[in-house]
Amino acid sequence: MAFKNLGFAANVFRKRWIFVVIDHYKLNNKNMHNIKHTLLALTLLVSVCLNAQQPATHKEGELDWYVEVIKANEVSRAQHKPIFAFFTGSDWCGWCKKLQHDVFAKPAFVSWAKKNVVLLELDFPRSKTLAPEMVQQNNSLQQAFKVQGFPTIWMFYMNKSADSATFTLQALGSCGYPGGAEQGREEVKFLADANAILANDTAGRKPAVVNTKPVTAKGKKKK
């Protein structure tokens, strides 16, 4: 009966409903390498409007950020890279803006991101209005990953079932603003944390090495 009702809702609102199973890897906050595996069945329901007018990406500097998880997943599957989901409050979250300034805008992160992940921004603004399907998508993913604070980063894969009726989210781990990092070099600690998460990739894909050492005016690395 529940499935019939969902089908009816999909017809009425002209939306496609996607059931997702989460293969969830939780990281102990005190130890990034302490992985606890849990399975949460059918906990995420994502609604994607078939006629959405909102662009699938937006550009921040040299980086393209997807806003639709389905579009991000298409690129993730094609490039064999995990999705890097950034949970943010773009118009109110000070720490989110600080993360963007201190880490995302740095050349080391830009190079790392291009080589290793597919960027997905999940925004929770207070002043501006998102399309209803974006609000539902973002809220569903927030609930699925139990995100309670911003900024939060989750890295994961979405795997489609054989019958295409469900997706499995294989979550590699999460992180946030790099607390305790050397001032002015926050990207170094962030990338170290991010690479530790990528090391959990069961597919065995290793993160590309990115130079994060300071460079002198002549272009030589400092020793």
Q: Tell me: the pLDDT tens digits for 121-156?
A: 999 999 999 999 999 999 999 999 999 999 999 999
Least confident piece of the model among 73-77, 92-96, 98-102, 216-220: 216-220
Using H for helix, E for strand and C for coil, what is the string for 6-30?
HHHHHHHHCEEEEEEEEEEEEEECC
Angle at 135 between CA 201 and CA 173, to 5 degrees: 15
In the three-class reduction of DSSP (H, G, I as helix; E, B as strand; rest coil), residue 60 is classed as strand
Q: Which of 203, 219, 220, 214 is nearest to 79 (CA)?
A: 203
* Residue 14 pLDDT: 34
* Residue 57 pLDDT: 67
Q: Return the amino acid letter for 60.
A: E
Q: How far is CA 24 from CA 27, 38, 168, 171, 189, in A?
A: 10, 5, 9, 5, 24
Q: Which of 74, 85, 115, 106 is nearest to 188 (CA)?
A: 106
Please check the confidence at residue 11 and state whether its pLDDT lies above 80.
Answer: no
Angle at 172 between CA 193 and CA 93, to 5 degrees: 60
Whether pTM > 0.85 for this model: the answer is: no
Q: Please, which residues have CB within 8 angstroms of residue 98's CB and are 6 or more apart in sequence?
A: 177
How far apart, in whole angstroms, are the C-alpha atoms of residue 147 and residue 152? 7
26-72-52-41 Cα dihedral, nearest 10 degrees: -30
Q: Which tokens go with 62? A: 């040299």
Structural domains in the chain, CATH included, are 2-198 (3.40.30.10)
Q: Which range, 8-12, 51-55, 115-119, 199-203, has the best average confidence (pLDDT)?
A: 115-119
* Residue 5 pLDDT: 30
Q: How confident is the model at residue 161 (pLDDT cuts 50, 70, 90)?
A: confident
* Residue 167 pLDDT: 78
How far apart, in whole angstroms, are the C-alpha atoms of residue 65 and residue 87? 12
Q: Which tokens go with 10? A: 């999909």
CB 158 within 8 A of CB 169: yes
